[in-house]
Structure 1
Amino acid sequence: MTRFSRSIVLLLIILAFGEMLEARRGRKRGGKPKHGHGKERIKGIASLLSDLVRANPEKLCSIDVVGKLTISTTGTDSKTGVLNTEGAMCTETTNDATDYIAIDLGSVDRVEGIITQGHSNNDWYVTEYKVETSDDGTTYTAIKDENGLDKIFEGNFDNQTPVSNAFPETVEKRYFRIVPVSIVGEKCMRVGLYDCESVLEVLDLDDDDK
């Protein structure tokens, strides 16, 4: 997403949220909102905001992971490994199925999904991966699909475009591992986590009866 398009999204959110607050104030005063439509108008604006937020998890719902990433080998050329930074976290080899990037959030947090990128300067990226979670940083369990098998997430199709994947269910964990399954070039990733539900709760988009 370009800087211009990000600005448009943020502007739309601000305008829509302002309209929703105005409509709610009108209802609380016992009169009609300035522009009419009442409850249906509020629901429509809330739906628009929700769609905008969920369509832009990288910019609007991301969880801070700076300084919280490590890699299973020493072969990395990135200081951070987070989205939109130089380089990427790259493993020392490409044929070790146990390689992973680990994230320690520092405490239990709610996570709705993951965002990935490839290497910033080379055509290296991960096309498929698994995600494992843990309570203690020692015992990890892979996120499962609808058949109870380890879920294989579709990763990147180039090295630059961020690709987001929602988990089948929101998880509340401290530790995460991203395990590459299929790659192009080298096993390199920049990663992030997101939780749009928390953003929507802050905006109070799920409660249209107030």
Structure 2
Amino acid sequence: MSQWVSESEYFEKIFNKLDVSSSVTEHASFEECTFNHCNFTSARLSHCKFTHCTFNHCNFSIAEIMGSRFYEIDFNECKLSGIDWTRAQWPTFNLDPELRFNKSILTHSAFFGLKLQGMKMDECILHEVDFRECDLAGAEIVNCDLAGSLFHNTDLRGANFTDSWDFQIDVMNNLIARAKFSRQEAVSLLESLGIELVD
């Protein structure tokens, strides 16, 4: 794999149709940059820093983000399947990295054990995403398809799941006080209690 912009710094730069698939980028810094229709498929982003950046129509499928930092990032209509977000660097002093995903695909992604208070996901496909042990207090996961996603010992207090569907959340093994669910979909929460509903 060839190197791209290792050890470089970029500020307020716009990248259009950039293809760095299967490449290696190390110790690069991007601040207030915009990426449009860029291809990061199978790229390895090692110890990079992204701050106040926006990604539009980008493909990050099975990219590696070892040691990289993401703060105040917008992903709009991006494909982010198969990413292990636990490999990134997450600050311990700031529980809200201000990640926002809009109309994006995060199938088979892993957020196990991360503190992502206030994270926003809107109209996303979240099939088989690992949210176990996460702190998602106050997160907004609205209008999302959560088929097969995992929740266990997850802090969902005050989280908003309005108009999301196909989630399986055991109310006995997760913290859900003050969480919001659409009335029709909230019925699935009763399954973990062994309650039978009759008409």
The normalised TM-score by structure 2 is 0.24
- Give the structure with higher Rg (CA): 1
Which structure would you say has the larger RCO, counting Cα contacts within 8 Å and 6 or more residues apart?
1
TM-score, normalized by length of structure 1?
Answer: 0.23
